[in-house]
């Protein structure tokens, strides 16, 4: 009996004051077993008078035992409930701290992701701007190529027209001289330059197309990153107090087609690498175009100067030949005049011999009528006979000389015609080379025009 009282006293203290938390978890105390002595003695009250009351009653020991068990159960329940509250509070605090740490880690990861996106977005934007600027510079070079190609038309027309005009030279001036060789070389050079410019122009057009294609790829990648940056920035701004947050259970699943950070970075890196490669190719092509335009303009202008020099030299040769021919023509004309005067003198001399011939023959005829012995072969007769013989011989020699002079005059006339014809040929050649060939070359484009500058 003292034990239950102590237990009740102890229970009263615990019930009026909140128990201190225990380090050892509470557990049910072992049930205390009471043995009741059986009433079998001679003085036992097992009679009929107490039979009904005996069956409905507990023993005092049982009552104390029941009270102790109830006190123990209440004490253990309080301890268990207090421990549960402490564990629940600790678990709630731990869950709140874990959720806060997870949210902070996610926010930090979103922030780092924003930095990565901004890094690639900035590189893509710079690459897009560089490609756009490079395409503009290449377009300017393409325009230079087109202008240079247009500028070659005039030199080609001039060269071919010079060749066609020189075909109208007359023999013997229709020769394959140095001028014609240089003109053929110039025409071939211009055709080669035109083919080179056309091929280079096609390369520039293709390169501009590649630049635009890679620019579009970078622009699409940049646009996706701008949108992704906006999404991640908005996600980073969400907090527990945000009003536009909702439950999305299905969003926890990972997409099968989602990229990894490595493939994500490699995709942008490859786009930038390809764009850089095309930009470098475009820069090299622009430098090549500069060199080509510089070289072809210098070559064409140098060949034009060579042709002009050859034409000027040829014109000087023709002028010199014409002057010599004119000098000979003047001499021939003078000689023809002298020869005609000589022929006239010969004719007059022959005519003048008619009188002496008549006189001599008349004298001989008259003396033939001398009578008898007077028909003497005297000195006068011999002299008359000698004169009559000498005069025909003299006339014959004069006629022979006259024929020679007339032949010489005819030869001089033929030479005169040849000289005049040759002078006409030289005049025609000089007109063609100087007026039809040299004069149009004043319209030959200058070097900066052949280089594509307007």
Of 274, 292, 315, which marks where a domain is finished? 315
User: What pTM was estimated for this model as a whole?
Assistant: 0.69
Q: What pLDDT sits at residue 12?
A: 39
- Residues 429, 341 share a domain: yes
Of 272, 291, 315, which marks where a domain is finished? 315
- Residues 334, 284 share a domain: no
Least confident span in 3-12, 86-95, 140-149, 229-238: 3-12
More confident residue, 256 or 262: 262
As for how many domains the chain has, the answer is 2
Q: Which residues of 112-131 are buried (b: 16+ CB within 10 A; e: fewer)?
A: ebbebbeebbebbeebbebb
- Residues 298, 361 share a domain: no
Domain-located, residue 343: yes
**Token pair belonging to 221:** 């990648």
**Average pLDDT over the chain, rounded to an integer:** 86
Q: What is the pLDDT of residues 92-120, one digit of tens each?
A: 999 999 988 988 998 899 899 899 999 99
User: If you average pLDDT over residues 46-62, what whole number do you get?
Assistant: 62
Domain-located, residue 101: no
Distance CA 169, CA 422 (A): 12
Domain-located, residue 1: no
- Residues 364, 226 share a domain: no
Distance CA 50, CA 327 (A): 189
pLDDT for 140 beyond 90 = yes
Geometric angle at alpha carbon 251, from 256 and 93, rounded to 5°: 130
Q: What pLDDT sits at residue 240?
A: 84
Domain-located, residue 132: yes
Domain-located, residue 276: yes
- Residues 161, 223 share a domain: yes
Task: Tell me which residue range forms the domain holding 151.
Answer: 126-237+260-315
Of 289, 315, 341, which marks where a domain is finished? 315
- Residues 347, 290 share a domain: no
Domain-located, residue 6: no
- Residues 173, 311 share a domain: yes
Name residues whose C-beta falls within 8 Å of residue 38's C-beta, 6 or more positions apart in sequence: none
- Residues 395, 279 share a domain: no
Q: What pLDDT sits at residue 27?
A: 54
Location of structure tokens 């070289």:
295
Domain-located, residue 383: yes
Q: What pLDDT sits at residue 197?
A: 96
Q: What is the pLDDT of residues 296-345, one digit of tens each?
A: 999 999 999 999 999 999 999 999 999 999 999 999 999 999 999 999 99
Geometric angle at alpha carbon 29, from 26 and 33, rounded to 5°: 175
User: If you average pLDDT over residues 341-368, what whole number do you get?
Assistant: 89
- Residues 435, 400 share a domain: yes
Domain-located, residue 56: no
- Residues 340, 212 share a domain: no
**Token pair belonging to 168:** 């109208």
- Residues 391, 273 share a domain: no
pLDDT for 13 beyond 70 = no
- Residues 281, 154 share a domain: yes
53 pLDDT band (50/70/90 cuts)? low
């Amino acid at each position: 009996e003292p034990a239950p009282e102590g237990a009740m006293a102890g229970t009263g203290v615990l019930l009026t004051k909140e128990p201190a938390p225990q380090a050892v978890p509470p557990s049910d105390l072992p049930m205390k077993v009471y043995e009741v002595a059986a009433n079998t003695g001679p003085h036992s009250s097992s009679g009929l008078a107490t039979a009904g009351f005996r069956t409905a009653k507990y023993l005092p020991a049982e009552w104390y035992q029941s009270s102790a068990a109830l006190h123990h159960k209440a004490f253990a329940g309080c301890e268990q409930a207090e421990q549960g509250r402490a564990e629940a509070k600790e678990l709630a605090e731990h869950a709140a701290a874990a959720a806060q740490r997870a949210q902070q880690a996610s926010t930090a990861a979103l922030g780092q992701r924003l930095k990565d996106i901004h890094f690639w977005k900035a590189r893509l934007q710079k690459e897009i701007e560089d490609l756009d600027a490079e395409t503009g510079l290449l377009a300017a070079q393409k325009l230079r190529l087109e202008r240079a190609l247009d500028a070659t038309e005039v030199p080609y027309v001039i060269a071919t027209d010079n060749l066609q005009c020189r075909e109208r030279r007359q023999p013997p001036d229709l020769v394959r001289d140095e001028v014609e060789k240089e003109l053929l070389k110039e025409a071939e050079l211009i055709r080669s330059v035109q083919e080179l410019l056309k091929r280079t122009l096609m390369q520039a057009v293709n390169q501009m197309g590649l630049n635009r294609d890679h620019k579009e790829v970078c622009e699409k990648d940049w646009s996706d990153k701008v949108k992704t940056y906006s999404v991640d920035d908005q996600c980073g701004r969400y907090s527990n107090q945000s009003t536009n947050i909702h439950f999305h259970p299905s969003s926890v699943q990972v997409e099968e087609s989602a990229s990894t950070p490595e493939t994500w970075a490699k995709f942008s890196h490859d786009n930038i690498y390809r764009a850089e490669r095309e930009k470098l190719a475009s820069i090299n092509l622009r430098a090549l175009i500069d060199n080509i335009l510089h070289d072809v303009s210098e070559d064409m202008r140098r060949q034009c100067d060579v042709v002009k020099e050859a034409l000027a030299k040829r014109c000087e040769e023709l002028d010199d030949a014409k002057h010599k021919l004119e000098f000979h023509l003047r001499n021939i004309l003078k000689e023809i005049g002298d020869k005609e005067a000589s022929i006239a003198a010969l004719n007059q001399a022959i005519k003048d011999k008619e009188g002496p011939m008549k006189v001599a023959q008349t004298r001989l005829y008259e003396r033939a009528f001398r009578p008898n012995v007077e028909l003497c072969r005297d000195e006068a007769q011999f002299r008359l006979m000698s004169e009559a013989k000498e005069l025909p011989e003299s006339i014959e020699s004069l006629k022979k000389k006259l024929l020679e002079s007339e032949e010489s005059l005819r030869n001089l006339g033929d030479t005169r015609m040849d000289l005049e014809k040759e002078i006409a040929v030289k005049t025609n050649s000089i007109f063609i080379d100087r007026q039809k060939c040299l004069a149009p070359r004043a319209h030959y484009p200058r070097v900066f025009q052949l280089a594509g500058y307007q």
